[in-house]
A and B are shown apart, each in its own frame.
Chain A
Amino acid sequence: MTEEIIIAGFGGQGVLSMGKILAYSGIMQNKEVSWMPSYGPEMRGGTSNVTVIISDERISSPCLNQFDTAIILNQPSMDKFENSVKPGGLLIYDPNGITSPPTRKDINIYQVAAAEEAAKIGIAKLFNMIVLGGFLKIKPLVTEEFLKKGLEKSLPERHHGLIPENIKAVEIGKELLKPFHVL
């Protein structure tokens, strides 16, 4: 099993930390992982993206141009990465701020209205975990047990009290997941 994922959005949306939590959870589950951020001018405001690979085997390239899954959180990222999903692959996006929805017919596309829900119930900071929940519903790469362990590893100890809220946000994301175009 090898899952090659790109997560892309605005800086501050928690793109990098979502990837980090996924990577840590993968390690806890004894997988090989790689987390390659964009560290260029993007991280100084604007778009931000990270390539996360989780595999049972030794990982080849940490930098890729074709992905099994794209998790898209803004329009510039949609423009950039919609065509980078492998045929038959998966695209998950938050419709908030998306002016041109995806048009590919050869991939599976789902929506998670995470921004709207996060604002509604007042957990804006957990927006990224809601999105992650949507992804894990379709591709349960890590179990809840290992996700908890991943959170413990990636969050500083003073924030460990927030882990139950994070897990709850993941559950909300699983419920919010809505098919947009399914093969």
Chain B
Amino acid sequence: MKELRLMKGNEAIAEGAIRCGCDGYFGYPITPQSEILEHLMAEKPYEKTGMVVLQAESEVASINMVYGGGAVGKKVMTTSSSPGVSLMQEGLSYIAGAEIPALCVNVVRGGPGLGTIQPSQADYFQTVKGGGHGDYRLITLAPASVQEMYDFVELGFDLAFKYRNPVMILSDGIIGQVMEKVEVGDYKPRWTDEYIAETFPWAATGKPKKRDHNIVTSLQLESAKQEKVNLRLQAKYKECEANEVRYETIQCEDADYILVAYGSSARICQKVLQLAREEGIKVGLIRPITLWPFPKQIIHDIGIKAKGILSVEMNAGQMIEDVMLAVECKVPVKHYGRFGGIVPTPSEILQALKNF
């Protein structure tokens, strides 16, 4: 049965984890996402579903606990905010290299460095271009509502296990802190050890007599073998690009100008659409839901018919590069953004659109 709750985005992440049958959470508190760990500690899922909730000694420890949990086929996750996620980059690269399913949430705050605790989208490059080393990709989901914070936890785990790849939920301080209506689902049971051993033949679930050891590692000393690993990864990423692109389009049919924005910027842009149309300016919005794989095709198809595209991001212009590639620079693409934790107002975005 569906139940209606008023929740913060951060609480919705925690609740989504408990209810989708997550096996373990490992994290370290940091603003603006501390409510995730707080909600988990208050709900005590270890008494309800048996889910482990552990405050690790650091973000480096958290991500490596996730590595271990994922390697044995458990649904495990961690969450943090920008500076903490920077510390996790080595672990994420190892997890991607070892092809371990895992979920990480970044409730982004302003940077660089310790920066500020206010909302930002300045970790786009880090997330979709590979913040760690090596040719790897993170499947990246960008929630724009508290409901999506809840829903994307289960979706994230589904994708992580489907592709044996880490998934990142790239949120920010607004979506983490805002309270909205959320429909929460029933509690799903956690997977049994038998189910995991049967369903994930790669997982390190203990060696039965009938097969060799399962080795989960990102280390290959022979380059020929490592090239094969890379080719397999690239084939997997191609498949992912073909099947997992998600986006939303709003009022693009008759639009002269197109805004491209994700997450909380996309919410602010919906207000801009309303204000612009009241003044007779026809504007539409494309909201990428997956940032990798990026919705290139739809941005190309809609974008090339427009007079111009404005990429609205709470950063100095990061996603704009992918938008420009998508439209092959056939139409003018500009950027509007604020940095360091300042949230752009609908009026100033409208002004940027008028100045296009």
**Inter-subunit contact A61/B271 (CB<8 Å):** yes
Interface string of A39-69 (1 = CB under 8 A from B): 1100000000000000000011111111000
> Number of B interface residues, CB 8 Å?
27
Question: Roughly how many angstroms separate A100 CA and B73 CA in the complex, as a whole number?
Answer: 64
Q: A39 to chain B: which residues have CB within 8 Å? A: 31-32, 117, 173, 177
- A35 with B179, Cβ < 8 A, contacts A60-B267, A61-B271 known: yes
Residue from B173, B267, B346 in contact with A65 in the complex, judged by beta carbons closer than 8 Å: B346
> B343 to chain A: which residues have CB within 8 Å?
63
B117 nearest in chain A by CB position: A40
Verify if A137 is at the interface (C-beta below 8 Å from B). Answer: no
A63 near B174 with CB under 8 A, answer yes
A20-28, A74-82, A104-112, A164-172 - the one binding chain B: A20-28
**A71 lies within 8 A of chain B by Cβ:** no
Contact A64 B180 (CB under 8 A): no
Report the Cα distance A36→B270, complex, angstroms.
17
For A6, list chain B residues within 8 Å (CB).
none
Q: Give complex CA distance A39, B176 in Å.
A: 11
**Residues of chain A lying within 8 A (CB to CB) of residue B268:** 60-61, 63
B345 touches A34 (CB 8 A): no
Known contacts being A23-B6, A23-B179, A39-B31, is A65 close to B264, with CB within 8 Å? Answer: no
User: How many A-B Cβ pairs are below 8 Å?
Assistant: 69
Q: Are B4 and A62 in contact (CB under 8 A)?
A: no
- Bound-state CA distance A25–B178 (Å) is 17
- Asked if A64 and B177 make an inter-chain contact with CB atoms under 8 angstroms apart, the answer reads no
Known contacts being A66-B347, A153-B6, is A37 close to B177, with CB within 8 Å? yes
> Is residue B181 within 8 Å, beta carbon to beta carbon, of the partner chain?
yes
Cross-chain contact B173 with A34 (CB below 8 angstroms): no
Please, how many angstroms separate the alpha-carbon atoms of A61 and B179 in the complex? 12
- Cβ of A152: which chain B residues have Cβ within 8 Å of it? none
**Cross-chain contact B6 with A65 (CB below 8 angstroms):** no
B274 at the interface (CB under 8 A from A): yes
A62 touches B174 (CB 8 A): yes
A11–chain B nearest beta-carbon distance, Å: 16
Q: Which one, A24, A37, A59, A65, contacts B345 given CB within 8 A?
A: A65
Complex alpha-carbon distance, A59 and B267, angstroms: 8
Residues of B within 8 A of A154 (CB): 6
Q: Does chain B have a CB within 8 A of A5?
A: no
Q: Is the CB of A40 within 8 A of B118?
A: yes
Q: Does any Cβ of B come within 8 Å of A117's Cβ?
A: no
* CB 8 Å contact bits of B318-356 with A (1 = contact, 0 = none): 000000000000000000000001010111000000000
Query: Are A33 and B346 interface neighbours, CB within 8 A?
Result: no
Asked if A65 and B347 make an inter-chain contact with CB atoms under 8 angstroms apart, the answer reads yes
B125 smallest CB distance to A (angstroms): 24
Query: Taking CB as reference atom, which chain B residue is nearest A32?
Result: B181
The complex places the Cα of A153 from the Cα of B160 at a distance, in Å, of 35
The answer to whether B6 touches A64, judged by C-beta atoms less than 8 angstroms apart, is no
Residue of B nearest to A37 (CB): B177
By beta carbon, the residue of chain B nearest A16 is B179
Which residues of B are found within 8 Å of A61, using beta-carbon distances? 267-271, 346
Most buried by B among A27, A32, A63, A66: A63
A64 with B4: CB separation less than 8 A: no
Task: Given A27-B181, A39-B32, decide whether A62 and B267 contact each other with a Cβ distance below 8 A.
Answer: yes
> What residue in chain B is nearest A62 (Cβ atoms)?
B178
> What are 24 A-B contacts with C-beta separation under 8 Å?
A20-B6, A24-B6, A27-B4, A32-B180, A33-B179, A35-B179, A36-B174, A37-B177, A39-B31, A39-B32, A40-B116, A40-B118, A40-B341, A60-B267, A61-B270, A61-B271, A61-B346, A63-B174, A63-B268, A63-B345, A64-B271, A65-B347, A66-B346, A153-B6
Residues of A within 8 A of B (CB): 20, 23-24, 27, 32-37, 39-40, 59-66, 153-154
Which 4 residue pairs spanning A and B have beta carbons closest together? A60-B270, A65-B345, A61-B271, A35-B179
Instruction: Knowing that A40-B341, A61-B346 touch, tell me 7 more A-B residue pairs with CB under 8 angstroms.
Output: A33-B180, A34-B180, A39-B31, A40-B117, A59-B180, A63-B268, A65-B346
